[in-house]
Structure 1
Amino acid sequence: MKLPVFLTQRPLGTKTVGVVLVLAVLVAGAVLGVRELRDLPDDAAFEYDGTVVTKDDLDERVEVLGALYGIKEPGKKDGRAAFRRDTAKAVAVSMVLDDAARDKGVAVSDKRARDTLDQMVASQLGADPREAFTELLADFGVTEAAVLDEVKRQQAVALLFEKITKDAAADVTAADARDYYEAHPDRFMTPEGRELRNIVVRTDKDAQAVVQRARKGEDFAALARANSLDDATRDQGGALGVVPARSLAGDYAKAAFGARSGAVFGPVRTQFGWNVGQVVRIVPGKEPTFDQVEDQALDVVRSERALEAWRDWLEGRIKKADVEYADSYRPEDPNEPPAVATEQP
């Protein structure tokens, strides 16, 4: 059984929307217990169980999350208030879960956290990862010890999840999986995909030039190797592989899935630059039989039952939590989890 997405590690440098700090409680739909209002210090964001978390404390936590996961406060003024509320809620929830982990005897060793951090650094930060990581810490003004603490916290919540839910899926049968498959056929369909190549350039003018050259018959892969700014795909001739529409940015998906096999499309502007794409081939969607996806269906049912058990346990724990937010940090809707989405290109 796989852990839910909100409990898995995210790589260094990943950009996300909103706060991804241990948001399991939000997915579970629990509400933080809030006491009758009382006076908080002027610099307080919230108080939990007699501990005041200041605005500076939250800022420091965001800096750690920035170094570890790429999270940062939005540049636009109208997004900052929501970000602050989400941050306060996430940190309050993490404190509740810290206490729960201690109560359940869940602990993560320094070595385990160190090994995980070393793996993340080595896999994400290039040829000299330790030097790059040191520079990253300096850029964000955080210490390695603070980052290690955050890794330990995330791992502890993952272990807590396993401890709370270990018995929830034990009685899932093949019949349960088949019932789920028949009730949710769309969950198991392989959607139509496109095998794509893509070239990223800086300007619309550059993109128009690439489009013209490609449509006149120049090899698209060679054009990508010579012109694309995308380090991840340039050496592979811009190859993105076979991707469904849902994995692509909106305008890019419309252009890619509106083109015929072999066609060059674009330019399309995304957050990464101006894109010119080519449809190498169209891969039709497939509806698998139950026998083909039985293991996947079993996994889904087990995961959903685990989440139900987690939600039931967590609701009780959260409702007993002693949390009071300052007005500007009080969540608008504690029941609604922030959406976290990733897109390419």
Structure 2
Amino acid sequence: MSKSLSDGTSVDDVDRLADPDASTDAKTASDETSRQVPSSRRGAVRTWVGEHPRAALAGAVAFALLLAVGTAYLAREPQVPDGTVAVVGEQEISTTQLDRRVEALKALYGLEEPSGTEAQDGFRRDAAKSAVVAVLIEQAADERGIEVTDKEVDTILAKLIRERYPDGGQAAFVEALGIMGANEDQVRDELRQQAVVAALFDDVTSGVEVTDDQVRETYDDRRTELATPERRELLNIVVETKAEADTVLGLLRRGRPFAQVAQTYSIDSATRSEGGLLGMASRKDLEGAYGDAAFGAEKGGLFGPVKTDTGWHVGQVQKIVPATPVTFAEVEATLRSTLETEDALSKWRSFLEDLLADADVRYHADYLPDDPESLPADVEENTP
């Protein structure tokens, strides 16, 4: 039985999952039937996904790639014919379909292909890998009876146009597509695929529950990291050489006012006019050695010289705001949501691992990724 947005999923919910991809254009005409999306069960997951960057091709084209821990792409003989990127089971992904997908991503997310032969080659291989995963996900969605109707795609597209082109509307949208070398049909295909991913994710991760004991145990384990960290208000002077930094430090130790020294010697135009005021910062906000020195000094104490990429630094601790612990009541709801998200992602990863382990995928030699079983580097960095 197919499921529809009318049973509870809002357009906002589907739009938050607009970053990931769900499918490819390699479906036959008989596959272009209407599809409906099941209702959302994991609002917290949608929020988490919505916050992730869209610039990377792999992250934009496949929500599955963003979440998967491992992959199982199989590059096997016999050879894939020219004009075909890959074969997934009996389904082919043509070079034309891959080009259409990339054009749609450019239109939706401002994706830019890199320059240079080697970089472009890597880009195309990553695009092929993402397209393969999209096909596998759509096949799994079809098996589960997940469908997305044209009317539902209309609703999603209308919302996108309202948000991105509030002044020019449909006309501005069409004009922008022309400039980017895409058309509305390509964008609609991409949005449909994203909605299928959202639906499949909901279907796979339904029934995830977190107990009160789990929430309490997580609070006990993460109490330190949940607390508001210590922050320090810092003054800072940047010079070009260590000799200059030693001179600055000597003047400060002899009692010269920090603001006066900063205005005279600092090359940091952003803080020089403010007497070297860097502002409040936690340890994680500061670069390695500089942060160690700043948080190793006492209130009112001087620190440095410390070398960073911007020069040699001498600083002073103006104020210290101690770390603030949080109570269980303050974070209970957030922790529960976090654990539900983590459990849902774990269930989703297991599903993908099983799905990909059973996949029969063959790449054309020109599109075979360097490591077909690994995720692109930018996706690895954003995997929770």
Residue of 90, 93, 97 corresponding to 2:130: 90
* Aligned AA (1:339): D
Residue of 102, 108, 116 corresponding to 2:148: 108
Q: Deviations over 1:216-271 (max 9, x none)?
A: 9xxxxxxxxxxxxxxxxxxxxxxxxx9989899x8xx99xx99xxxxxxxxxxxxx
Does the 8 A contact of 2:126 with 2:376 survive in 1?
Answer: no
The answer to whether residue 355 in structure 2 is matched with residue 296 in structure 1 is no
Does the 8 A contact of 1:101 with 1:160 survive in 2?
Answer: yes
* Aligned AA (1:323): V
Name the structure 1 match of 2:71: 31
* Aligned AA (2:138): D
Using the TM superposition, give the Cα deviation of residue 147 of structure 1 relative to its aligned residue in structure 2, in angstroms: 0.7
In the superposition, relative to structure 1, how do residues 63 and 10 fare at CA in structure 2: closer, same or farther (>3 Å)? farther
- Tell me the distance in 2 between the aligned counterparts of 1:141 and 1:243: 45
Does the 8 A contact of 1:7 with 1:22 survive in 2?
Answer: no
Name the structure 2 match of 1:68: 108
- Tell me the distance in 1 between the aligned counterparts of 2:222 and 2:231: 20
The answer to whether residue 191 in structure 2 is matched with residue 165 in structure 1 is no
Q: Deviations over 1:137-161 (max 9, x none)?
A: 1022222122112111111111111
Name the structure 1 match of 2:45: 3
Q: Which ranges in structure 2 are unaligned for 5 or more consecutive residues?
A: 1-41, 234-266, 296-318
* Aligned AA (2:186): A
* Aligned AA (2:365): D
Using the TM superposition, give the Cα deviation of residue 309 of structure 1 relative to its aligned residue in structure 2, in angstroms: 1.5
Using the TM superposition, give the Cα deviation of residue 128 of structure 1 relative to its aligned residue in structure 2, in angstroms: 1.3
- Tell me the distance in 2 between the aligned counterparts of 1:153 and 1:288: 41
Does the 8 A contact of 2:161 with 2:173 survive in 1?
Answer: yes
Aligned length: 283
* Aligned AA (2:374): N
- Tell me the distance in 1 between the aligned counterparts of 2:147 and 2:98: 24
Using the TM superposition, give the Cα deviation of residue 81 of structure 1 relative to its aligned residue in structure 2, in angstroms: 2.5
The answer to whether residue 172 in structure 2 is matched with residue 132 in structure 1 is yes
Residue of 347, 352, 368 corresponding to 1:309: 347
Q: Deviations over 1:162-199 (max 9, x none)?
A: 111111x22x112101222332346534457899xxxx
SS in 2 for 1:339: helix
- Tell me the distance in 2 between the aligned counterparts of 1:38 and 1:319: 19
- Tell me the distance in 1 between the aligned counterparts of 2:129 and 2:123: 10
Using the TM superposition, give the Cα deviation of residue 316 of structure 1 relative to its aligned residue in structure 2, in angstroms: 1.8
Does the 8 A contact of 1:23 with 1:337 survive in 2?
Answer: no
- Tell me the distance in 2 between the aligned counterparts of 1:6 and 1:325: 32
Q: Percent identity?
A: 29
SS in 1 for 2:352: helix
The answer to whether residue 365 in structure 2 is matched with residue 323 in structure 1 is no
Greater alpha carbon shift after TM alignment, 315-324 vs 14-23: 14-23
Does the 8 A contact of 2:71 with 2:373 survive in 1?
Answer: yes
- Tell me the distance in 2 between the aligned counterparts of 1:125 and 1:247: 35
Name the structure 1 match of 2:120: 80
* Aligned AA (1:49): G
Q: Deviations over 1:57-103 (max 9, x none)?
A: 21221000111122221124443232222211111101111111111
In the superposition, relative to structure 1, how do residues 211 and 246 fare at CA in structure 2: closer, same or farther (>3 Å)? closer
Using the TM superposition, give the Cα deviation of residue 25 of structure 1 relative to its aligned residue in structure 2, in angstroms: 4.4
TM (normalized to structure 2)?
A: 0.61
Does the 8 A contact of 1:6 with 1:20 survive in 2?
Answer: no
Superposition RMSD in Å: 4.1
TM (normalized to structure 1)?
A: 0.67
In the superposition, relative to structure 1, how do residues 44 and 62 fare at CA in structure 2: closer, same or farther (>3 Å)? same
Using the TM superposition, give the Cα deviation of residue 318 of structure 1 relative to its aligned residue in structure 2, in angstroms: 1.6
- Tell me the distance in 1 between the aligned counterparts of 2:204 and 2:338: 18
- Tell me the distance in 1 between the aligned counterparts of 2:132 and 2:222: 35
- Tell me the distance in 1 between the aligned counterparts of 2:372 and 2:321: 41
Name the structure 2 match of 1:264: none
Residue correspondence of structure 1 range 205-216 to structure 2 within 5 A: none
In the superposition, relative to structure 1, how do residues 213 and 311 fare at CA in structure 2: closer, same or farther (>3 Å)? closer
SS in 2 for 1:20: helix
Using the TM superposition, give the Cα deviation of residue 111 of structure 1 relative to its aligned residue in structure 2, in angstroms: 2.3
SS in 2 for 1:288: coil
